[in-house]
Amino acid sequence: MEFSNTSGKIYIAGHNGMVGSAIHRALLKKGYTNIVTRSSKELDLRNQNEVNDFFKSEKPDFVFLAAAKVGGILANNTYRAEFLYDNLMIQTNVIHASYTNKVSKLLFLGSSCIYPKMAKQPLTEEALLTGELEPTNEPYAIAKIAGIKMCEAYRDQYGVNFISAMPTNLYGPNDNYDLKSSHVLPALLRKFHEAKVSGDSEVQCWGTGSPMREFLHVDDLAAGCLHLMLTYDQKEFVNIGTGTDVTIKDLAETIASIVGFNGELVWDSTKPDGTPRKLMNVGRIHASGWKHEIDLKEGIKQVFKEFTNNDC
């Protein structure tokens, strides 16, 4: 079955997460209604028997594999065993069950941290496995690389149409605002907002502020994922990003000005910087006819509005 047939049954693994919920919204907007979901309480994707039973009874035609254990630099570095185990189990079970239950097409979502720490910028897809990984997120990266290789190997050996996309750093609705496990953008948004509300004169930011990061709104990512499901059937995985990056210091100043925090930003260099830079080369996805739409400043304004409305 082709993905253009909107009556096909779609399973979104991880539909409550930031990425899965964005894919869910995008699918509904495009008229896809035959969507099956399970919360992690209903279905533990780390459990192979549960996953096999679910696939046997639901028989989805298409799978978006957006379920993963994710987090910012501190969570990745602290829960190294969980990031490796949970992600390997989730993706292995879902990819294998998709093969045994004859899923027509699967999209696996990875991360820009799969690339070597010192890879040439911007990162082309060919840079995979050409050097040492960034130590703070090596377990997560190893799991994601295994997922890419699994999709490639299943294509080679079994002829299935499993593809992979590598998003850059993401932000948007349903992000994680817990300061110990979140990524930089939601963390700073919350810190500046709380400092403003309580009248604090300074906010602690992690690292030196010199690393560079690229940020993509998750609704853009979801649109890119649908685009790939509709148009892309190749073995080679695809970067999804904006193609531009900013220093963490610039990002912090932009967020502070949107939030209206006028105090001082103090950089805590005892906290890790992580990869110095991980800018995606987005030539492959641009050539396939897709480009992001949401400008970073506009996107931050949008999430700040949602954050204050939800009173996170």
Separation of alpha carbons 300 and 16, rounded Å: 21
DSSP 110: -
The residues that bridge with 10 in the sheet, in sequence order, are: 35, 62
Quick note: the x/- pattern for ligand GFB over 233-272, rule CB under 6 A, is ---------------x----------------------xx
Only one of the segments 36-44, 111-119, 194-202, 214-222 lies at the binding site for ligand GFB (rule: CB under 6 A); that segment is: 111-119
Residue 210 three-state SS: coil
Closer by beta carbon to ligand GFB, 61 or else 214: 214
Residues 169-188 that bind ligand GFB (CB under 6 A): 169, 182-184, 187-188
To ligand GFB, the closest distance from the beta carbon of 95 in angstroms equals 20
Catalytic site residue from 99, 140, 171, 232:
140
Cα–Cα distances in Å, from 202 out to 192, 199, 211, 227, 273? 9, 9, 21, 43, 20
CB-based contacts of 228, cutoff 8 Å, min separation 6: 107, 163, 165, 238, 285, 288, 290
Closer by beta carbon to ligand GFB, 14 or else 207: 207
Size of the site for ligand GFB (CB under 6 A): 26
Q: Is 243 left (phi over 0), alpha (psi -120 to 50) or beta?
A: left
Choice from 32, 62, 140, 162 touching ligand GFB (CB under 6 A): 140
Closer by beta carbon to ligand GFB, 47 or else 121: 121
Q: Does 205 engage in binding with ligand GFB (CB under 6 A)? A: yes
- Active site annotation includes 140: yes
The pair phi, psi for residue 68, each rounded to 5°, is -170, 160
Q: Does 72 engage in binding with ligand GFB (CB under 6 A)? A: yes
Q: Does 212 engage in binding with ligand GFB (CB under 6 A)? A: no
What percent of the chain is helix, strand and coil (3-state, nearest 5)?
Answer: 45, 15, 40
Name the site residues for ligand GFB (rule: CB under 6 A). 72-73, 76, 111-113, 136-137, 140, 169, 182-184, 187-188, 205-207, 211, 213, 248, 271-275
